[in-house]
Structure 1
């Protein structure tokens, strides 16, 4: 028998297992105060998942409000939708808009790597779909423990297969991202997935339930026991000791069902018969019903026993909490229901009317004719607890910052420099990732202009005009560990720069903030500082934050991960045929370094690779004005067709960037290092820099652009076209030897 509202009123002192559901004593008391009685089992289930950290942002929302200080205008015009919606929507011109967002699926991917990663991709794709957009591409940012650790060998292949398998089945190109390794992620890998979609301005849809009498339709997959409690990490046997011993806490994805759901939903949009729509993410029906109702102008009535089930043994609490994938909820006017059902039947998508919009402000859910939920949906979806967690600067940070990599010994002899470059190229965070990216379809749909291993992905939006977008997804957790404010800005700057060197104009960002426990004041300080860094950085760059995601409690025992604010930057390019690739192509081209190189080795790959994992000192200087100048030079150069290649300088410095340019097309070079200290010249990770190649006849015009935008420019040498990387007067290495060092790391570790 279900626990009804009448039962709750008549048995006010009934003991409830709220602690097992992750609800704290004070939160349970708050729920009782809101309701004026004890919650029913179903209501408790709803509050537990919707008030979880993952859904309610209860420890972070007080700080996330800072993003609201930012202008909602991009360099291309005002946002069409921003923070608070399923995803941000950016006007890119010619009547086109783009929606993009990144989210995390970290903990499920540790428990069940393939399904955790796969359903992470599926979830973010549905967020984009719910805005009225056709998903057109995905990206991923992954973090693992040490490459040679046993658990890395367990989770990495499954996570990569999950990301690739789900995206490939959907027919979505994976156009970029990153993969990094560090011991802090051992036992807590990070899986951050980004999706981008395209729509016409008039096709934008928002999540709200309005219009009394309008029907509430659940469509997509049937509801099963998978994913129950995924948002609050609970065991479902709390509800029913006679049911299955333990339900899986990780969702199981079906990408072929999702593909049908995408096409079905887009046709429903085209038919103009959807008044409101919400995807099913964390918290399942609890989320979809409460968020739709709270954002509308009425209440909602739902008959839960109408929900199609894969498992008839599910209790009503479990149905409310199930995170079964490939499901959506729509609000439809009664006279459009028949047409709605016809379209769903065409695509073989299950669709069921489960309720309707009602007068008032209540969400009422019945089970077999008895009311098991009667709540104000705003108290479930938006008015949960807000914590102002204590935070303070870590006491150990001064000693860490004093332990500078600039003070480490450097060997600038020929043999040592040659060996250092090979070691850095073979470092897991630098090494060739094609073992991973070859499992992703990068060119399906035929609109991929740039994809891995380019600095950013690029997609054509309009075939006639050539209008396109570029995307980069980056995080430098080592810098953020040393200084979270500057580290977050450096992550932002790197993603911004990666978009800029393709010739696109950076216009907006999304973020995915991965940190340890918010109950640790030192972790919370790091989180707050990172947000301040992003807010101040976006203000200076003139780009808005369109939305994002927070993932907390990423730690193993009491050891948190390195703070990892992942930043996705969207750029717009008016004609994708003008884009700039990263590899050298023409022997005789001049090679030019843009930006100032400083003695900045702390937090670098050089320090990690050559000094036993050293991590100390202060990160490189942030100069966002210089980043803007560099971006303007790159955009103008692309428009005028001045450059034959461009590559940003970031991890590994000039040494890595110029070697990657050479390896791209087996085109060697001869350059003179721009510093008396060869280690600094090769491996400094100073920001706001790029290396470009161009014909000598374009050099004068290019240099004048650099002067106009106050960008430091220095000619280093030329592309030779032979098979040697030559650092004139210092050392040289055959490209074949560099390629072997760069390519063998991952296959050797993963035994493939």
Structure 2
């Protein structure tokens, strides 16, 4: 806590704060909990939110909620657990999953799936080989134990994330409209019940220590600040909460995540009648030596706090006992406007709860473009030597297919259960995960989680929009109608004006794009101080887009499985290589400008894809993004087990490796070619024939001046598969 913040606490209380009060304010006013450096910019998401009847609960709650039809509602959110995952990879990642699942539970929903976005340093770096296996095992171990399918995400490698991995976890849950719960404590006399795991020393100071500081050589000493998870307790907690909700025993509910009891009590009281009395020595402890300050700051996992009417307490406790969930009444709601806590008969906390929960410091951080931005943007990939003949282009296709960012992530995803619960329709490596919600109607949802730190480093405004447009496009490629957005904004220190400028521009870009595309931001997370010493990571907004399938039986996947089907490219290809995988993989180069953002083209393309799926015109669709058309073809061929015969028009290098956006490769059902052209013409989407599916190799030809196709090169699928699949296992050992 800064000196001026401490003085403000004294002014609020009119006296010196007790050590327990200081503990509450220090964690609640931390960057992680109060958003004190980001709040002034995040308001744009509300100010520019598109008007939509689908949004049932917006920002400010544990997670946003949207209407997906037929009386069903979906809640989803993504959050970070970056610093804990560096300090203690397994538990940091595991408790990141556990925390986001409880956010979804606290809205009254049943969690139905998780996703993750992971970023590490170079794949061959010793520190990556320490962190990567633990993080993947933590994500899989916790999610698998909960019985939740992991349906997608990212695994990215870049030098900038060395010693500062990004571990962003998403969870999605479903409920009926009438089952939505809120984090409120209304009704004087209602009881405050803490239930779940006991409170221990693990995670003490986690929110303020690990999320509000940069890394240095002493980071390993912070290991005790990482929470320890128990997924089996959380599984019981999920089922217990759902039964409590079904019997209408809960007036308000809040999970205990960052800042623990401090957060749950202040936020519930501030959002309710305004007062609460808590007997802190009633909190069940796993370590009897804990002091009040440690109890308040502990971030022990698998804990929830509920507000319950007095006449329903016995039944509440009875259900908890049946699920073997410890539950203790620790206080009551009041109308005093004060949060009062006692310890062994002595008052140790007496504060206005809104001052801790809602009225933390708000900083107008100075910001200006990073000093090196001009030189970075002017260092275009145009000076890089391009492949000059067929053999070099062929070799480039294989290099990209086997590069760490584009190679198969099966080593990672095979550790996750993708199909548990039986409602997963599609999962990684598909463009988006698809989950069935209603068996009878086929109602379902699609989710994609995307980001690109290189693009955002070159242009934060455009980079955030490009992350959104890719996730938007991925969802539409499955045939789902994009509906809403969540985000996790990963940046360096807000005290660095260059980083703060990146953040401000990225938020503005994302808010503007969401407004244009008609998809509101429902909530999310800001993660600052992602840097080692004075070197920040590339600014990395990770964007999740949720879409709706009226009937998941009409979904479209990325696999080339229809022998003889016509392949077409929807969208326009330009010569765009700034921040590209080609420049990164072949030359380690970052410079120039990212691909041109074209939101109108994205919206038009999405309409074509959704309508084509509804009409059953497509057998496959795969977006073109990192690695360009080359990588899209490689992935679809290998996924379906069939090759393709492709004829390129114009410069083969640009056609194959450009990363122009608003493009998708589609396989058209026989007889549907004319209708696809009609849809594209009506929407203003360029369409060009690529070739046909078939054979056991990827055959690339170019159109000669005489109008005849001339073979450029051919790569057998067995060779492509070897290049694509051997990379990660070789690094993982």
Deviation at 1:72, TM superposition (A): 5.5
Alignment match, 1:71: 49
Judge conservation of contact 1:128–1:135 (CA < 8 Å) in 2. Answer: yes
1:233 aligns to what SS in structure 2? helix
Judge conservation of contact 1:72–1:82 (CA < 8 Å) in 2. Answer: no
Deviation at 1:412, TM superposition (A): 2.9
Deviations 1:285-338 (A, max 9, x none): 000000000000130000000000000010010000000000000000100000
Judge conservation of contact 1:58–1:386 (CA < 8 Å) in 2. Answer: yes
Give me the whole-angstrom Cα distance separating, in 2, the residues matched to 1:521 and 1:515.
12
Give me the whole-angstrom Cα distance separating, in 2, the residues matched to 1:259 and 1:91.
26
Alignment match, 1:585: 561
Give me the whole-angstrom Cα distance separating, in 2, the residues matched to 1:554 and 1:519.
12
Q: Work out whether 1:633 is the aligned partner of 2:608.
A: yes
Deviation at 1:451, TM superposition (A): 0.1
Deviation at 1:725, TM superposition (A): 3.7
Judge conservation of contact 1:659–1:725 (CA < 8 Å) in 2. Answer: no
Alignment match, 1:381: 357
Alignment match, 2:21: 43
Give me the whole-angstrom Cα distance separating, in 2, the residues matched to 1:680 and 1:604.
12
Alignment match, 1:258: 234
Alignment match, 1:5: none
Q: Select which of 382, 402, 421 maps to 1:445.
A: 421
Q: Work out whether 1:284 is the aligned partner of 2:260.
A: yes
Deviation at 1:183, TM superposition (A): 0.6
Judge conservation of contact 2:569–2:688 (CA < 8 Å) in 1. Answer: yes
1:460-609 superposed matches below 5 A: 460-609=436-585
Give me the whole-angstrom Cα distance separating, in 2, the residues matched to 1:405 and 1:234.
38
Judge conservation of contact 1:228–1:247 (CA < 8 Å) in 2. Answer: no
Deviation at 1:407, TM superposition (A): 3.2
Judge conservation of contact 1:486–1:619 (CA < 8 Å) in 2. Answer: yes
The TM-score with structure 2 as length reference comes to: 0.97
Give me the whole-angstrom Cα distance separating, in 2, the residues matched to 1:234 and 1:573.
39
Q: Select which of 638, 647, 663 maps to 1:663.
A: 638
Judge conservation of contact 1:666–1:721 (CA < 8 Å) in 2. Answer: no
Judge conservation of contact 2:252–2:307 (CA < 8 Å) in 1. Answer: yes
Q: Work out whether 1:717 is the aligned partner of 2:691.
A: yes
Task: Single out whichever of 405-414 and 50-59 deviates more from structure 2.
Answer: 405-414
Q: Select which of 671, 677, 682 maps to 1:708.
A: 682
Judge conservation of contact 2:697–2:714 (CA < 8 Å) in 1. Answer: no
- Per the alignment, do residues 234 and 195 of structure 1 end up closer, same or farther by CA in structure 2, a change over 3 Å counting? closer
Judge conservation of contact 2:54–2:68 (CA < 8 Å) in 1. Answer: no
Q: Select which of 166, 181, 185 maps to 1:209.
A: 185
Judge conservation of contact 1:104–1:191 (CA < 8 Å) in 2. Answer: yes
Q: Select which of 91, 95, 107 maps to 2:67.
A: 91
Q: Work out whether 1:116 is the aligned partner of 2:98.
A: no
Judge conservation of contact 2:273–2:334 (CA < 8 Å) in 1. Answer: no
Give me the whole-angstrom Cα distance separating, in 2, the residues matched to 1:686 and 1:476.
14
Alignment match, 1:141: 117
Judge conservation of contact 2:696–2:716 (CA < 8 Å) in 1. Answer: no
Q: Work out whether 1:32 is the aligned partner of 2:6.
A: no
Give me the whole-angstrom Cα distance separating, in 1, the residues matched to 2:66 and 2:265.
27
Deviations 1:325-353 (A, max 9, x none): 00000000100000000000010000000
Q: Select which of 36, 43, 52 maps to 1:58.
A: 36
Give me the whole-angstrom Cα distance separating, in 2, the residues matched to 1:276 and 1:721.
60
Q: Work out whether 1:692 is the aligned partner of 2:674.
A: no
Give me the whole-angstrom Cα distance separating, in 2, the residues matched to 1:276 and 1:639.
40
Judge conservation of contact 1:302–1:366 (CA < 8 Å) in 2. Answer: yes
Deviation at 1:247, TM superposition (A): 8.2
Give me the whole-angstrom Cα distance separating, in 2, the residues matched to 1:630 and 1:298.
49
Alignment match, 1:681: 655
Alignment match, 1:129: 105
Judge conservation of contact 1:211–1:298 (CA < 8 Å) in 2. Answer: no
Alignment match, 1:177: 153
Judge conservation of contact 2:567–2:690 (CA < 8 Å) in 1. Answer: yes
Give me the whole-angstrom Cα distance separating, in 2, the residues matched to 1:41 and 1:320.
11
Judge conservation of contact 2:164–2:532 (CA < 8 Å) in 1. Answer: yes
Root mean square deviation of aligned Cα: 1.2
Alignment match, 1:20: none
Alignment match, 1:745: 727
1:267-346 superposed matches below 5 A: 267-346=243-322
* Ranges in structure 2 where 5+ consecutive residues have no aligned partner: 212-220, 703-710
Deviation at 1:563, TM superposition (A): 0.4
Alignment match, 1:361: 337
Alignment match, 2:215: none
Q: Select which of 142, 165, 171 maps to 1:166.
A: 142
Deviation at 1:226, TM superposition (A): 0.2
Deviations 1:587-617 (A, max 9, x none): 1110100100000011101111122x10000
The TM-score with structure 1 as length reference comes to: 0.94
1:357-436 superposed matches below 5 A: 357-436=333-412
Task: Single out whichever of 665-674 and 678-687 deviates more from structure 2.
Answer: 665-674
Deviation at 1:70, TM superposition (A): 2.7
Task: Give aligned pairs, total.
Answer: 716
Give me the whole-angstrom Cα distance separating, in 2, the residues matched to 1:228 and 1:458.
37
1:180-195 superposed matches below 5 A: 180-195=156-171
1:430 aligns to what SS in structure 2? coil
